[in-house]
Structure 1
Amino acid sequence: MAKIIVTAGPVPGHVVPLAAIAADLTKRGHEVLFYTGAQFEAQISATGARFVPHPAEVDVTVGALDAALAEREKLAPLERIVFDIKHLAADQAPIHDKRLQELLAEFPATVVISEPMSFWALPTALRAPRGRRPLLVNIGIAPPAFSSADTAPFGPGLLPPTTDEERASYDDMRVQMGAFFADPQQYVEGVFTSMGVTLPAPLFDAMATVPDHLLQLTVPAFEYPRGDAPEGFRFIGPLPAATDSEFELPDWWAELSDDRPVVVVTQGTVENGDFSQLLVPTLRALADADVTVVAATARPDGPDMVRAALDDQVPANVRLAGFVPFEQLLPLADVLVTNAGYGGVQTALRHGVPLVVGGETEDKPEVAARVEWSGIGVNLHTARPGTAAVRAAVDDVLNDPRYRKRASEIRSQCAEYRPFDAIADIVEQATAGGEHSRLGLRREGDEL
């Protein structure tokens, strides 16, 4: 039996996939300690893992950083990334690192599983060579951000270069982006120095090269090929999610099996405070369409918020929902309209559902660009599309069979991967003291 520490930033998109990994490892008989925000105690405890909360002074989920988060809301998208790096990750890293070392002293884990924004896990790997410390496994819950000559700089959501002119343009852009991120890079380096370690590369690269493994939760068909990917980078496919057997089907659920196409729209679990961004425009755009629209608001008061935004004039073809399990909903869907959250898009890939996406914050432009590049949907290139743009995109996806065909192809590729088995294999090899063969995580013929 292995001892494993799992740690994740205290937001649903970071915690949920790692909680699923923790649940699988405990079912296999391993002992798991999960370190994250206090708000997630019940969710983590349900996995069978031992829950340890973040110290209150750095726990976003108990309001410790509310003032900082309020300031963040005033910033432009790229400025938010800088803010997040400096003040929602680096500033707290020494406290989290200290707590992680305390946990390792009392719970001698052979493996630490983290995700890219958990900066506090990196010093553990930097303080000692492999074999004299826990193995560090990073789970790719967002598009890989490490630099590559085969892609555009990470952030704006640009497609890979196809001409020499584009490559030259991206090279220039890399220089400009390097200058833009020079301040947060220097800031993070100073924080790491205060922890007694040296950051060996630019931050986005270090998040991929410092861990022993970076396991990406997608398939090659949804990710740009790279000839210069880090050695530890591997695709393991999207995580399957458990079906919620306690979900009570609403009265309208049977309608989803009718002949009419089903369009699901959501703004995810974070950007759902203002439904005028994407959800409401979609409902208005499809009000007279011969489709059934399911508005998945991901919050208990969501349906009431939507009714208020529509002045109680909810279109007749719309079905409002609070929390609804996508594992049960997406098999009935023909299109998913979403703000390009990575986890939701991967769920659509597993179910072969084509997409219409629009997002501007965090990694969402990069996710949306990959939807476009992979041929699985339409990129709206904005988080606040007009109704005409949404209607045209949904009509395009419903009427052009190429999207459904490509979605089916990617679904088939997803089915070839066993992500839980791949992670468990690493854990068990590390615990047995053997050197894991990284090629074992990769299907023959995969391209990076």
Structure 2
Amino acid sequence: MSKFLFAAMPIQGHISPGLPIAKRLVELGHEVMWYSTSKYRGKIEATGALFKKVQSAKDLDDSRYEEWFPERSKFQGVNQMKYDLKHIFFGEMPAYAADLTRILKEFPADVVVVDGAFTGMLPLKLTGKAPKIAAYGVFPMTLSSRDTAPFGLGISPSTSALGRMRNKLLNGLVENVMFADVQKHANKLLSHINVPKLPYFALTAPAMVSDLFLQGTSPSFEYPRSDLPSHVKFVGPYLPAKQTEFTPPSWWEDMNKRTVVHVTQGTIANEDFRQLLIPTIQALAGEDVLVVATTGGRPLKNVDIPLPDNVRLESFVPHHELLPHVDVIVTNGGYGGVQQAIYFGVPIVTAGKTEDKPEVCARVEWSGVGINLKTDRPSKENILHAVKQVLNQPQYKKNVMRLSREFQSMDAIENTMKELSKLAISN
């Protein structure tokens, strides 16, 4: 049996895909330890893994980023992504590395399993002090390619001569101009702890230095790359573990024989429900549909409008319970939620501009499984038109069912077990 140490960004969307991986490794008899913040201790220990709390690093709570990083709200779009990279992802890198160095002395892992954005192993890897590293992808692939535009712009791929010229120019512009300050910031942090500069673009460095990169989707929901590195493997979508107990709300039977539209702003970009959730409720108020709205754990009182008769509002409903009853989902484009919708064959209307959401929304459009509204504050008219279009034009349902079959044919956890086992014994 092998030793596995998990270390993911302490953010729900980064932690959640790793939980079933850790649980399965424990079931197979491996020793598993997970380094994280206090908030996720319960979920981690529920997998059977040994929890190791952050020491040098901040004990962050991702639902309170506005308190930890008050300046963040001043930025939008690409500028907010740059802020996050500097202060959330790379800002804690030296402290993560210090903690992990200590942990690896007492728990000499065969493989360190990280999410594709975790920077804490970079200093160890760049100084030759790291064991094998396996990363799992929690958002669309960030790797630069001659066939794709840079990550973050939400631009579709192109392999034509002109398209590759566009890609080359844009990749150079993003890496050497737009994100040059992020690269400089990361390298400055590394220099302070006597570590060499990043050999790769900051956005792709965690994935590129890993020995194995597990992209949590199917090839049909990712842009094809003719220059894809050999250590990248597609394993299928990482879906949340199903809850063993679920008590349906009192209105559950209302979904029978009704057209159901589900609207959500996920669990991170949900401070302001007037971005998407409230406009969707208002847009569909006069329609012959049942609207199921969820607040991602936020208080229901934050939806501060009178609710139309056709709306059912909840803090949270497990997607694996709800989505089989849904005809269309309106979402700001979280990677996990979108992939769950595809898995259950639900066409999608997306409207997101923060974090990785422009890239998720672009892939929804590119793969033909839904409509990308290309804004995070769509009008009620645009939402209504998009929902009707997805409901009434059969190509969206046809495309999402094709992709759903591909998703359901891939067992992400078992595929991951095979790849991790091969990596562990290759030491």
Q: 2:371 aligns with which of 367, 378, 382?
A: 378
* Cα separation, 2, equivalents of 1:359 and 1:320: 21
Name the count of aligned residue pairs: 425
What secondary structure does 2:74 align onto? coil
Change (3 A) 1:91 1:239: closer
* Cα separation, 1, equivalents of 2:153 and 2:426: 41
Q: Which of 291-300 and 185-194 deviates more?
A: 185-194
Q: How does 1:192-211 map to 2 (within 5 A)?
A: 192-198=190-196, 199-211=198-210
Pair 1:176 & 2:173 matched: yes
Aligned amino acid, residue 359 of structure 1: G
User: 1:63 Cα shift?
Assistant: 9.9
- Matched-pair contact (CA < 8 Å) for 2:147–2:159: no
* Cα separation, 1, equivalents of 2:63 and 2:393: 47
* Cα separation, 1, equivalents of 2:356 and 2:420: 29
- Matched-pair contact (CA < 8 Å) for 1:38–1:62: no
TM-score of the superposed pair, with normalisation by structure 2: 0.95
* Cα separation, 2, equivalents of 1:78 and 1:240: 28
User: 1:164 Cα shift?
Assistant: 4.0
- Matched-pair contact (CA < 8 Å) for 2:332–2:350: yes
Q: How does 1:111-130 map to 2 (within 5 A)?
A: 111-128=111-128
After TM superposition, the runs of 4+ consecutive aligned structure 1 residues lying more than 6 A away are 62-65
Cα RMSD (Å): 2.0
* Cα separation, 1, equivalents of 2:18 and 2:343: 18
User: 1:166 Cα shift?
Assistant: 4.1
User: 1:161 Cα shift?
Assistant: 2.5
* Cα separation, 2, equivalents of 1:67 and 1:133: 33
What secondary structure does 1:204 align onto? coil
Find the counterpart in structure 1 of residue 148 from structure 2. Answer: 151
* Cα separation, 1, equivalents of 2:103 and 2:56: 16
Q: Which of 48-57 and 414-423 deviates more?
A: 48-57
Find the counterpart in structure 2 of residue 219 from structure 1. Answer: 218
Find the counterpart in structure 2 of residue 265 from structure 1. Answer: 263
- Matched-pair contact (CA < 8 Å) for 1:122–1:211: no
Q: Deviations over 1:116-151 (max 9, x none)?
A: 2210122333333xxx85210111001111111101
User: 1:322 Cα shift?
Assistant: 0.9
Identity of aligned residues (%): 40
Aligned amino acid, residue 50 of structure 2: R
Pair 1:140 & 2:133 matched: no
| Structure 2 unmatched runs, 5+ | none
Change (3 A) 1:169 1:429: closer
Q: Deviations over 1:283-308 (max 9, x none)?
A: 1111111111100112152x2221x2
User: 1:194 Cα shift?
Assistant: 3.3
Find the counterpart in structure 2 of residue 297 from structure 1. Answer: 295
Q: Which of 288-297 and 415-424 deviates more?
A: 415-424
Find the counterpart in structure 2 of residue 55 from structure 1. Answer: 55
- Matched-pair contact (CA < 8 Å) for 2:351–2:374: yes
TM-score of the superposed pair, with normalisation by structure 1: 0.90
* Cα separation, 1, equivalents of 2:335 and 2:101: 30
User: 1:56 Cα shift?
Assistant: 6.6
Aligned amino acid, residue 245 of structure 2: E
- Matched-pair contact (CA < 8 Å) for 1:35–1:54: yes
| Structure 1 unmatched runs, 5+ | 436-448
Pair 1:28 & 2:28 matched: yes
* Cα separation, 1, equivalents of 2:247 and 2:408: 28
User: 1:375 Cα shift?
Assistant: 0.3
Change (3 A) 1:3 1:57: closer
Find the counterpart in structure 1 of residue 246 from structure 2. Answer: 247
